[in-house]
């Protein structure tokens, strides 16, 4: 590996790919909470393999959502790699101590995905801001890796419905926000 080439102390650029490796330990979390589209909260204990090894999670997109997802997954001691094509987003949204591996490049480039370890990934989270890009990526990944678990972020309600009806796992920030507001406002006895 070559010497550091940027302000990040653990960043190297072998063969044009930027990678940050975790240095030091992080505080493991006993469990992760997630809000499901149906609006209930559950404990996620299935994020560990039977032998309690961390799951390898590939996050495509380093927007605010992608960066927060990386931090939450790393806090739960998961192995995380993030792919982002825009260095500015990485600098804006990820702190230096996030502990994930970072690959700089387009998530639509098969070589970038291969360097990011797409074949090893147990879960792929498509978390870009752009619904059209997320749809394209989800379709390409599902065609290439039909047995992988792929979660896709979608904001458009019509696309969200179509993808869910097609059996895809969709995370809709809009749906989650509406559910959270509803649960905060409407007493549990009045929900149908």
Per residue in 104-121, pLDDT tens? 999 999 999 999 999 999
Q: Whose structure tokens read 């998961």?
A: 78
Q: Residue 10's pLDDT is what?
A: 30
Q: Residue 34's pLDDT is what?
A: 29
Q: Are strands 32-35 and 41-44 parallel, antiparallel or unpaired?
A: antiparallel
Q: Residue 145's pLDDT is what?
A: 92
| Spans in the chain with pLDDT lower than 70 | 1-53, 96-97, 188-192
Q: Residue 67's pLDDT is what?
A: 86
* E runs forming strands in the chain: 11-12, 19-20, 32-35, 41-44, 56-60, 79-84, 101-104, 123-126, 149-153, 169-171
Q: Report residue 175 as tokens.
A: 């749906």
Per residue in 80-90, pLDDT tens? 999 999 888 88
Domain boundaries, the chain: 54-190
Selected from 3.40.430.10, 3.40.50.880, 3.40.50.720, 3.40.50.1970, the CATH number assigned to the domain covering 54-190 reads 3.40.50.720
Answer left, alpha or beta for residue 175, where phi above 0 means left and psi between -120 and 50 means alpha: alpha
């Amino acid at each position: 590996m070559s010497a550091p080439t940027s302000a990040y102390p653990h960043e190297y650029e072998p063969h044009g790919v930027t990678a940050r490796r975790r240095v030091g330990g992080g505080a493991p979390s006993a469990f992760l909470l997630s809000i499901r589209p149906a609006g209930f909260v559950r404990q996620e204990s299935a994020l560990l393999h039977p032998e309690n090894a961390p799951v390898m999670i590939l996050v495509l997109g380093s927007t605010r959502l992608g960066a927060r997802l990386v931090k939450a997954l790393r806090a739960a001691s998961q192995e995380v790699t993030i792919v982002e094509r825009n260095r500015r987003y990485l600098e804006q949204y990820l702190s230096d101590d996030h502990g994930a591996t970072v690959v700089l490049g387009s998530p639509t480039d098969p070589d970038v995905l291969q360097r990011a370890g797409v074949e090893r990934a147990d879960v792929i989270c498509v978390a870009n801001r752009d619904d059209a890009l997320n749809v394209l990526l989800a379709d390409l990944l599902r065609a290439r890796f039909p047995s992988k678990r792929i979660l896709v972020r979608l904001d458009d309600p019509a696309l969200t419905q179509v993808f869910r009806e097609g059996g895809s796992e969709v995370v809709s920030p809009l749906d989650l926000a509406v559910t959270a507001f509803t649960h905060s406002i409407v007493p549990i006895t009045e929900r149908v």
